[in-house]
A = this chain, B = another copy of it.
Amino acid sequence: MSNPAMLHELGGRAKTASKQIAVASSAVKNSALELMAHTLVEKQDDILTANRLDIEQATANGMNRSLLDRLSLTPARISAMADGIRQVAALGDPVGEIIEGSLRPNGLRIQKTRVPLGVVGIIYEARPNVTSDAAALCLKSGNAAILRGGKEALHSNIAIAEALREGLSAAKLPADCVQLIKDTSRQTAAEMMRMRGYIDVLIPRGGTGLIKAVIENSTIPVIETGVGNCHIYVDEAADIDMAKAIVVNAKASRPSVCNAAETLLVHQSVAPSMLPTLVSALKQAGIALRGCEQTREILGDPDIIAVTEDDYATEFLDFTMAVRVVCSIQEAIEHISRYGSGHSECIVTDTHSAAEAFTSRVDAAAVYVNASTRFTDGGEFGMGAEIGISTQKLHARGPMGLRELTTMKYIVYGNGQIR
């Protein structure tokens, strides 16, 4: 079958399935999720066999170790995926919530009611656990999912999706609530981005290149996720121990994730006293630093190379951090406005007015006072699970849980009102 015809058919099946899952009760959806978790473990051998194929191919293609690790499945990891599905089953169901309502003077009773989005498309890269995570979150929120993973994980994804679909069938729900696109060509991805009428929302999960391609090509509404060029600004009135703990945690606890910090900004009045402590702690944590002129002057450390404009604009995602001395909180805010990606930003301060200025003027999904940017996460925010972290302003901003996978409709009850 040609790609467009294949996608057309798959989209039609998703639309049909979405109508059934949209009105399924929480009990039915939860029992389906339990069965999906069960089948995933039951089919573990098939999944591991498929995963070995992916690993062999990726090794032959020279994939680096950290990506290979992300791609690899083990019985423990499959078990964790099943547990993840069960955790989603345990979360509250957002569908049907009456968000607000009013009785109008003419007697119309208006109820703003939470309903599923319909069909959610997700384009992602190498990690096969996204297949089960995304499917579970979409299902619980009453949506059908069309998944398009990376070619590196294709065999694993096929085996996982097959297990999830068996679980759905066992629960007497349409297996087509979860569909995987098995053609991982770029052309098919581009066609998927234009499946208006079939896909209601498209969520790309992956690197900058993927997200950029989706934004350029999609005619479906998109929720951008994930790019995090985050900053820690150490204000003049910062506590040095707190600043040290936050900076090291935000940068070094897990540099490869989007909520990790990339640039340290330090107020000039405390730079001479604090920079040596902060930088020495960062170096001890294995971080290589790139500093502005003032930073390098203060420290006189030959390890610290000169930072560039490009560095400020880069999400390093590894053990590198930029350092800049700023002359005021205003300059820190301007730096963030210029280079930040609107993900997570932090000020360390004990001055109330500085905290106020920073939180009101910094335009990002999450703005922290005296806490690590690493907390920007669905679990940490109490959502239970997340489908991604939105860095755009429409619909959802920051961690997206089940509620962010819904929309609403107005249900209006009358007794013959006309206008």
Contacts and interface: CB of A to CB of B under 8 A. Distances in A.
Interface stretch (A70-78, A266-274, A405-413): A405-413
A180 to B, nearest CB: 23
Contact of A380 (B104, B196, B222): B104
Contact of A394 (B201, B241, B248): B201
A375 B221 contact: no
A419 B201 contact: no
A255 interface: no
A340 B294 CA distance: 63
Contacts of A104: 380-382
The contact size tier of chain A is: 35 or more
Contacts of A380: 104, 108, 419
Contact of A253 (B249, B365, B370, B419): B419
A118 interface: yes
- The quantity of this chain's copies bound in the complex is 2
Contact of A411 (B223, B359, B394): B359
Contact of A416 (B253, B371, B398): B371
Interface in A343-368: 355, 359-361, 363-368
A200 interface: yes
Contacts of A245: 416, 418
Nearest to A372: B418
Contact of A367 (B219, B363, B410): B410
B221 A394 contact: yes
B221 A366 contact: no
Contacts of A26: none
Contact of A419 (B239, B364, B375): B375
A369 interface: yes
Contact of A413 (B200, B337, B371, B393): B371
Interface string A384-403: 00000000111101100000
A407 B419 contact: no
Contacts of A250: 418
Given A367-B410, A367-B411, A394 B223 contact: yes
A10 interface: no
A84 B75 CA distance: 64
A327 interface: no
Nearest to A18: B363
A407 B397 contact: yes
Contacts of A393: 117-118, 200-201, 221, 407
A83 B176 CA distance: 53
Closest 6 CB pairs of A and B: A371-B414, A249-B418, A393-B407, A395-B395, A242-B416, A374-B419
14 contacts: A110-B382, A200-B393, A215-B219, A221-B221, A223-B394, A248-B418, A249-B418, A250-B418, A366-B411, A367-B412, A369-B413, A371-B412, A380-B419, A393-B407
